[in-house]
Structure 1
């Protein structure tokens, strides 16, 4: 007579399934993942149990589950539009000051909202500042050359 095996409960839908902790086998996807219909009772649904989608598991980590805190839910991947506009306007040359302004604005928004697009904003800043430096150096050279002729 030995001690009973140590078990713990792993949440599985609305029912906790005991798991043997002394077992040397690894828990695989076929044992404890809750894909498809289970034996646990479900809430009323207009869909028959035979037509339940097997690619949509009934798991507590779904974004629509109210038990998962908002910060832990996966965010929708969005691209910052200001970063794209900044890059486009910086590349055009004549509108590079507007592109630099939008690039700084986009980087601030990206840090605050954790959107995608930081490389676009950084490239817009580099290209925009390069165009501005090119124009400033060109104007200096122009005025210096015209001053030599008089």
Structure 2
């Protein structure tokens, strides 16, 4: 490399250590100048706008057009085996699992409806509400309905028994 005319070249001691043979020398960085103003940060990228929603067609136009096929036909696999590919879209986010219905809520409601098993309905309703509060499952309306119906039946049963004891057996 030939030094430019009018500028002294740097001596080997000023250039720094030499890299081993076969390795390229790192590029020299220009000296920092204090007279230059600082560079402005790059401008932010524009945010893409969502595509406008398609306009609905009038009902009369929709009735005159033939229906489009919903999906292309899949090629048949030998012996009815699956191809092993996932059915989800490649860029789709996994769906959040929905909370499950408590396993005691529906039996509690059914037991409360059948009069003789109303005490079991009340017991299962209380158990279901406790489990729902701990686990976050669904089914609280079923458990509450089971409690209301069960207690209403037990109250009616108790009042009927008290009435029978007072008027029928107490009147002797």
Determine if contact 2:119/2:154 at 8 Å carries over to the other structure. yes
Aligned residue number for residue 139 of structure 2: 117
Q: Secondary structure at the match of 2:116?
A: coil
Once the two structures are overlaid, the 10-residue window that deviates more, 100-109 or 76-85, is 76-85
Given the alignment, which residue of 101, 105, 108 partners 1:86?
Answer: 108
Gaps of 5+ in 1: 7-19, 31-46, 64-73
1:107 is the counterpart of 2:135: no
Per-residue deviation, residues 11-33 of structure 1 (Å, max 9, x unmatched): xxxxxxxxx1xx3x554379xxx
Determine if contact 2:108/2:121 at 8 Å carries over to the other structure. yes
Gaps of 5+ in 2: 1-38, 53-82
Cα 1:29–1:94 change in 2 (3 A) is farther
Structure 1 runs of 4+ off > 4 angstroms?
A: none
Determine if contact 2:99/2:136 at 8 Å carries over to the other structure. no
Q: Secondary structure at the match of 1:97?
A: helix
Give the alignment's TM-score, normalised by structure 1.
Answer: 0.58
> Aligned runs of 1:45-60 on 2, under 5 Å?
56-58=89-91
Q: What is the CA–CA distance in structure 1 between the aligned matches of 2:119 and 2:86, rounded to whole Å? A: 55
Give the superposition deviation at 1:56: 1.7
Give the superposition deviation at 1:75: 2.9
Give the superposition deviation at 1:147: 4.0
Q: How many residues align?
A: 103
Q: Whose helix proportion is higher, 1 or 2?
A: 1
Given the alignment, which residue of 83, 98, 115 partners 1:76?
Answer: 98
Determine if contact 2:104/2:127 at 8 Å carries over to the other structure. yes
> Aligned runs of 1:12-91 on 2, under 5 Å?
20=45, 23=46, 27-28=49-50, 56-58=89-91, 61-62=93-94, 74-91=96-113
Aligned residue number for residue 5 of structure 1: 43
Q: What is the CA–CA distance in structure 1 between the aligned matches of 2:152 and 2:113, rounded to whole Å? A: 10
Provide the aligned C-alpha RMSD in A. 2.9
